[in-house]
Amino acid sequence: EKGGYEHFMLKEIFEQPKSIHDTLRGRLLVEEGIIKMAGIWDHLERLNQAQKITIIACGTSWHAGLIGEYLIEEFARIPVEVEYASEFRYRNPIITDKDIVIAISQSGETADTMAAIKMAKEKGAFVYGICNVVDSSISRITDAGSYTHAGPEIGVASTKAFTSQLTVLSLIALKLGKHNGHLSNQEFMKLITELDALPKKVEEVLESTHEHVKEIAKHFIGAQNFLYLGRGYNFPAALEGALKLKEISYIHAEGYPAAEMKHGPIALIDENMPIVIIAPKQGHYDKIVSNVQEIKARKGRIIALVNKGDTQVASVADFVIEFPETSECFSPIIASIPLQLLAYYIAVYRGANVDQPRNLAKSVTVE
């Protein structure tokens, strides 16, 4: 059942070209220049007239939500807030019948997300679900939704479900933006063409980074802390990279927006602090270059994720992982792949049970 892989997690990491393809299948019709999503189409007016969209989720799904915020605000120009379901439900949030709530959940069974949805519905909000498990509790109580179609995810640490959540959120943001006029046809066509090419790029990055990341991981088996940095769309990707590492390797890791480093975390940096920095060409590259120099000046050990052919960041970093270029909005999908592999191999070398980390459950049905 593990298809020749040592763990479900590795199998699921390698399934991503297919799972992303499955998420796009029947929805992204590049030749016709359309995105077909019944759940969005049927409620297009309500969605596009929303004064605010609130995304609720937990854990990895919450990280996907943060990227969803950037996507929807950039392309559809609708204000988005992202909340932990567990905070949202206990703080009497301002939600009315004009609100849209998007709930994201791989399992579709997370207790806090479920309770938050019930509360939002009682306040009259329209609730849209993004679930992976078909016919799960959340998919049944939401007013409409889209499945991620990533296939069953067995490893407790979420991998392919995350990249499929990002793919669905990209589709939704582009479709809303196209229909509400904020996205030009030309820009829309350019972005959907790129989206269509993602499975191929994910395959490329798996092939080109797998062995290399496995080697890099050996150098960090004894680390006690890790810092993950990224800007813009890759800030949530940094959070997710850190979560993966702490869940399965039990190494303490934190994600930060790179520019926040100087407001505190920089105090932690010395030769014992490994720093993973996501630094694609777009998205304020020059700023990232100076972040990397600041880290190096304090002797931090840098693992840099850069686009192919990068020289500036690469010349300062201790370890370099190259990934293919995309528009900034899709770069977290690509950058997440080597980060998953890095967490996986560090955990494997430390002898951890990667598929079933201690104290964690695949669906958190307790509050």
Active centre residues (catalytic): 362
Residue 229 token pair: 């940095």
Helices (H) and strands (E) in the chain, counts: 15, 12
Residue 16 sits in the site that holds ligand F6R (CB under 6 A): no
Minimum CB separation of residue 190 from ligand F6R in Å reads 31
Instruction: Name which of 47 and 138 has its Cβ closer to ligand F6R.
Output: 138
Residue 236 sits in the site that holds ligand F6R (CB under 6 A): no
Residue 60 sits in the site that holds ligand F6R (CB under 6 A): yes
- The interface region with ligand F6R, picked from 45-53, 102-110, 293-301, 309-317 by CB under 6 A, is 102-110
Residue 106 sits in the site that holds ligand F6R (CB under 6 A): yes
* 352-360: long-range pairs with CB below 8 Å, 24+: 352/248, 352/249, 352/250, 354/7, 354/9, 354/155, 354/157, 354/248, 355/7, 355/8, 355/9, 355/154, 355/155, 355/156, 356/156, 357/156, 357/157, 357/247, 357/248, 357/250, 358/250, 360/156, 360/247
Q: What is the rounded distance in angstroms from the CA atom of residue 288 to the CA atom of residue 285? A: 5
Using alpha carbons, list the distances in angstroms from residue 187 to 41, 120, 308: 20, 34, 24
Residue 261 sits in the site that holds ligand F6R (CB under 6 A): no
Minimum CB separation of residue 158 from ligand F6R in Å reads 4
Instruction: Name which of 132 and 331 has its Cβ closer to ligand F6R.
Output: 132
Report the residue from 107, 234, 249, 326 that binds ligand F6R according to the rule CB under 6 A.
107
Instruction: Name which of 291 and 336 has its Cβ closer to ligand F6R.
Output: 336
Residue 146 sits in the site that holds ligand F6R (CB under 6 A): no
Instruction: Name which of 146 and 307 has its Cβ closer to ligand F6R.
Output: 146
Minimum CB separation of residue 146 from ligand F6R in Å reads 14
Q: Which one, of 137, 133, 78, lies nearest residue 107 by Cα?
A: 133
Report the residue from 15, 22, 99, 247 that binds ligand F6R according to the rule CB under 6 A.
247
Minimum CB separation of residue 257 from ligand F6R in Å reads 20
Q: Give the helix ranges, DSSP H, for 123-229.
A: 137-141, 160-180, 185-196, 198-218
Instruction: Name which of 16 and 106 has its Cβ closer to ligand F6R.
Output: 106
Residue 105 sits in the site that holds ligand F6R (CB under 6 A): yes
Using alpha carbons, list the distances in angstroms from residue 145 to 96, 139, 170, 257: 19, 7, 14, 31
- The interface region with ligand F6R, picked from 116-124, 155-163, 206-214, 332-340 by CB under 6 A, is 155-163
Q: Which residues, 6+ apart, have CB-to-CB distance to 70 below 8 Å?
A: 232, 233, 236, 329
Using alpha carbons, list the distances in angstroms from residue 109 to 57, 121, 138: 11, 17, 6
* Identity of residue 199: P
* Identity of residue 39: G
Cα-to-chain-centroid distance, residue 104: 12
Chain residue at closest Cβ approach to ligand F6R: 59
Give the contact letters, 157-186, x = binds to ligand F6R (CB under 6 A), - = no: xx----------------------------
Minimum CB separation of residue 160 from ligand F6R in Å reads 11
Residues making contact with ligand F6R (CB under 6 A): 58-61, 105-107, 110, 113, 156-158, 243, 247, 363-364
